[in-house]
Amino acid sequence: MANTRAIWQPKLKQALSLYVLTDRLLSRGLSEQDVVRHAIDGGASAIQLRWKEGPMREAVAIARDLKAICAEHGVLFVVNDRLDLAMTVGADGCHLGEDDIPLPEARSLVGDSMILGYSPADLSEVPMAVDAGADYLGVGPVYGSSTKDDAGEAVGIERMRDVRDLTDLPFVGIGGIGADNAVPVIEAGADGVAVVSSVVAQDDIEAAARGLREQVDAALTRKQR
């Protein structure tokens, strides 16, 4: 298997700056393919396919299309939860949570062929995720979430600082983030923002992504000074 991990790790922080998750219930009838094209045109640097229901045959076909679109534009392509789907299509990565295949077992299965992200349930899971081979973390919900029923209570900006104090691993903030509140997430230590409705559910997906990317890039630039 290809060492995809070695390809993406050096540029992972940049790849996570604007991380857009698909959601067909929010995309107003647009296909995942069209949503992703518009998001990338607006500056999305990573795409995650969320497949919560529907036949796996369809999921495989869509995932292969999204992988090709992302590869064409040099964008990271990740599958949410389903390591089997990610492995089947040769995705760049898979994002796991506490209810998915355990991270150590996932890393054992994929070796260096895939980037693995992880959403720690609380701060105590951060060292475990680092030791188990996570390449990046998803931390939230920062401001709450209307797109994930089991997301839990908002953890706030302070959680970003706490995670940054615990690890140098790249991480994104997720949950209720839009162009109007993305900057504090970056200032508190995140390397990027992961979003759903603030891009996917908008009338103009490209413009929404562009507005978010501009805010994130400006905040990242200020941090580097």
> Any catalytic annotation for residue 164?
no
- In whole angstroms, give the CA distance from residue 158 to residue 224: 20
**Choosing from 37, 50, 159, 210, which is the catalytic residue?**
50
Is 45 a known active-site residue?
Answer: no
DSSP 22-80: P-TTTTTT--HHHHHHHHHHTT--EEEE---SS-HHHHHHHHHHHHHHHHHHT-EEEEE
Side-chain half-sphere CA neighbours of 47 within 13 A: 36
Distance CA 85, CA 62 (A): 11
Catalytic residue among 148, 159, 210, 213: 148
| CB-CB neighbours of 131 under 10 Å | 10
Choosing from 119, 145, 197, 198, the catalytic residue is 119
Helix (H, G, I), strand (E, B) or coil at 188: coil
Measured distance CA(76)–CA(12) in Å, rounded: 9
* Residue 151: strand pairing partners: none
Nearest to 89 by CA among 111, 137, 54, 56: 56
Active site residue 119: yes
Give the Cα-Cα-Cα angle 191, 196, 200 (nearest 5 degrees): 125
Residues that are catalytic: 50, 119, 148
